[in-house]
Amino acid sequence: MRYLLIPLLFFFVTGVSAQERPADKKLIQFSGIITDADSNNVVPYVTITNLSNNDQMYAANYKGYFSFIAHPGDSLLYTAVGYSKATVHLPMNIKGDSYTKMVKLKLEITYLPTVKIYPWATVEDFTKDFLSMKIADDDVEIAKRNLSYSSINGMMQTLPRDAGEISNINWRYNHDRALNKNMVQTNPLLNPFAWGKLMQLIFNGDKVRKEEN
């Protein structure tokens, strides 16, 4: 009797397991491209989670393309950094062994509250800086300081010439050269009056040195 119960128990357990195990589902090749919902640009490296298959995870490539094995009726979750989550439900009545779909993700915009940054950590630091603050001059004093001789002279020494100033200088130089091109330049070494003036200056210098001695 005991040996007869063992085969009956085996067939009973096998029958219960067969009833609990679902029928094999149809397998399909699910492919597609993931793009931005606003710009239609591809979204690379998106994570795809099959919620209907023990959260099995896949990943799209750098061109937003994905392809993996799934079942009709599966629920797929698409997640990417900076984008809102999207869920895609595969239809149950898929004909053939493949199914394609364009998946669009929308940018996730997060509005943060306004933050005001102050350069003082405490009220005491603000009071100290406020008491040592130098009050700015009025507009008249600022204008006088900017138009002073030292300020203008400093700008003349440091500021480069602009295009208009360079153009005016070149025009004046070319104009003077055109006016004086027919004039003969005299050599001062051949001028007797220049030599006489030079000798007179030398004699006057010797006379001054004698008087000082």
The answer on 124 and 64 residing in a single domain is no
User: In which domain, by residue range, is 117 found?
Assistant: 112-178
Q: What share of the chain is helix, strand, coil (3-state, %, to 5)?
A: 40, 20, 40
CA angle 13, 15, 21 (to 5 degrees): 100
Q: Note whether residue 204 is domain-resident.
A: no
**Distance between CA 135 and CA 137 in Å, rounded?**
7
The answer on 118 and 101 residing in a single domain is no
The answer on 75 and 45 residing in a single domain is yes
Q: Which residues contact 55 (CB under 8 A, 6 or more apart)?
A: 49
The answer on 122 and 85 residing in a single domain is no
pLDDT averaged over 10-residue windows placed end to end, the chain, 213 residues: 45 42 73 93 95 94 95 95 94 92 92 83 85 76 85 84 85 83 70 82 71 62
The answer to whether 122 and 54 are in contact (CB under 8 A) is no
Q: What is the pLDDT of residue 5?
A: 46
Q: Note whether residue 191 is domain-resident.
A: no
Is this model's pTM higher than 0.75 or not? no
The answer on 169 and 145 residing in a single domain is yes
**Distance between CA 65 and CA 33 in Å, rounded?**
4
The answer on 100 and 69 residing in a single domain is yes
| Nearest by Cα to 32 from 99, 79, 109, 110 | 99
**Distance between CA 103 and CA 85 in Å, rounded?**
11
Q: Note whether residue 171 is domain-resident.
A: yes
Q: Note whether residue 154 is domain-resident.
A: yes
